[in-house]
Structure 1
Amino acid sequence: MPEIIDAWMQQPGARFMAEPWLDTVLRWTGTARLAPPLQETLSEMDNAGVRAGLLSAWYSPRGPLITNDEVAAVVERHPARFAGIASVDLADPMGAVREIRRCVRDLGFVGVRVVPWLWNLPPNDRRYYPVYVACVELGVPFCTQIGHTGPRCPSEPGRPIPYLDEVLLDFPELVVVGGHVGFPWLNEVLSLAMKYPNFHIDTSAYALHRLPAELADYARGRGRTRVLFGSNYPMITPGACLKQLDKLELGPEAKELFLGGNARRIFNLQL
């Protein structure tokens, strides 16, 4: 089996798991409103054959739900298994830029994630633009969510066109990873991938046998360097996502790239 890298994971604490917007997600997935112990996370990774995971911090308009330092502490304990993805306060642009620099330069984080529905702000909002400048300056990808939302929040900020289209036009050097597939706007997602070489898609929040057919076809063929595996753990385990991997009918090259090669290249992973 090729190396597997999970491009979207969380190691949440009680603060994150208490968020009321999790109700719909937990109901759909049957996940308990309990923060998993770190050893349980590692066991789930081992059971699925996951070599490493990208752990995301979360920042909301009301403050951090998973802090960058909490992520850094997990990475420090298991540097061969995890890398950090930072998150920042969009309402504090200079603070956000300083925090991204600290996370990348001092803590070794490999990307930045902002979840648009959490802020109810699409990614072409001016408050994101200092974040994009910092990502380009430091050479790290900007990660975001595309498509409808599991939580009971507006889905419109996750629509790819016109929002991400404008961002990718304004920042041709910015590497963007759109997570959660992008349903129901698959045509828009794939059109962005064809138009912009720096735009990538991760399959987090989806068991692989439930991927939309258009995305599966793209991952098998011309998009084999542009689609990454992700789980969105603990909302869904990597094992549950990968259970029917063979049904994707990926060839050897496409499978290696999808499972880990693309993530290793895009995030410049050294672990």
Structure 2
Amino acid sequence: MIPSTFDANRLIGDLEVTLDVDVLAGAYPDRDAPPGPFTKILAEHRIRAAAVASLRGALFDMRSGNDEVLTLSDVVPVGALDLRDPLGSVRELERLAGAGVRAVRLFPDEQGVEAGFPSVRHVARKAAEAGLTVLTGGDVRRFWQPFAGWGGSVVFLDTHFYHLGDFLVAAADEPGFHTSTRLLNSPDALETVAATLGADRMLYGSRTPYSEPVVPLLRLATSGLDAAQIAAVAGGNARRLL
């Protein structure tokens, strides 16, 4: 018998993502260039819109990097902040809020910032006061703490299914806590979040063009969520927040 070929596209079927919450523009100085522009990769996978943040803004210069994102067409701009400069980050988030931006993104791993640094708590509070949704990297087991108690909306972009229990117990007391689905690839992770907190606490994220969008697409398409829940995760929840 000839073994059948695994066909991810067949399993993904007609799933479309209406808003991907985790897309990056620009390049890392210490990594290979991505395989192509994020617009092309998203289109190839039927991802119709993206919340985009600037690596230049995160790694080198907030203002010029964010201004580049603001000039992009057909994207939801996300302001990149630099936690190494908390005072400058607050000035920048205030400028972005004035320009109509609805979300900012934190890059603690790339910037060498730990969850216990005062800068994280300071920026978290100011973002909540400004009504901005925060998209943040970092280990959710530590990075939930500086966001607790402010009543803001936070999306943890790096929640791994190994750490899902920690996210669930933290988010139970924080209705503004949400998670990207990028690393929730165990057989029951999406279903567990939906059953425990509700599907409205998950947002599809791919980290295009630096990660492969097929895996989170495949997991969502083959999950036990119903059609309304899948549509919410695939963009409805992101649109509500952003």
How far apart, CA to CA, are the structure 2 residues paired with 1:234 and 1:68? 22
TM-score (norm 1): 0.73
The 1:66/1:89 distance shift into structure 2, 3 A limit, reads: closer
The 1:71/1:47 distance shift into structure 2, 3 A limit, reads: farther
Q: Residue 85 of structure 1: which of 55, 78, 84 is its match?
A: 78
The 1:47/1:10 distance shift into structure 2, 3 A limit, reads: same
List alignment gaps of at least 5 residues for structure 2.
1-14
For the 8 Å contact 1:11–1:36, the answer to whether it is kept is no
How far apart, CA to CA, are the structure 1 residues paired with 2:217 and 2:231? 14
For the 8 Å contact 2:158–2:180, the answer to whether it is kept is yes
- 1:232 and 2:178 are equivalent in the alignment: no
Q: What amino acid maps onto 1:5 in structure 2?
A: L
Q: How many residues align?
A: 227
How far apart, CA to CA, are the structure 2 residues paired with 1:49 and 1:43? 10
Q: Residue 186 of structure 2: which of 212, 227, 247 is its match?
A: 212
List alignment gaps of at least 5 residues for structure 1.
23-32, 147-157
Matched with 2:107 is 115
Q: How large is the Cα RMSD of the aligned pairs? A: 2.6
- 1:131 and 2:128 are equivalent in the alignment: no
Q: Per the alignment, in what secondary structure is the counterpart of residue 200 of structure 1?
A: strand
How far apart, CA to CA, are the structure 2 residues paired with 1:197 and 1:83? 23
CA apart distance, 1:195: 2.1
How far apart, CA to CA, are the structure 2 residues paired with 1:138 and 1:235? 30
CA apart distance, 1:9: 0.6
TM-score (norm 2): 0.81
Deviations 1:2-51 (A, max 9, x none): 652110010113xx2x22xx4xxxxxxxxxx12566xx322222222212
How far apart, CA to CA, are the structure 1 residues paired with 2:236 and 2:63? 25
Matched with 2:23 is 9
Equivalent positions of 1:18-33 (< 5 A) are: 18-19=29-30, 22=31, 33=32
The 1:127/1:77 distance shift into structure 2, 3 A limit, reads: closer
Q: Per the alignment, in what secondary structure is the counterpart of residue 133 of structure 1?
A: helix
Q: What amino acid maps onto 2:121 in structure 1?
A: Y
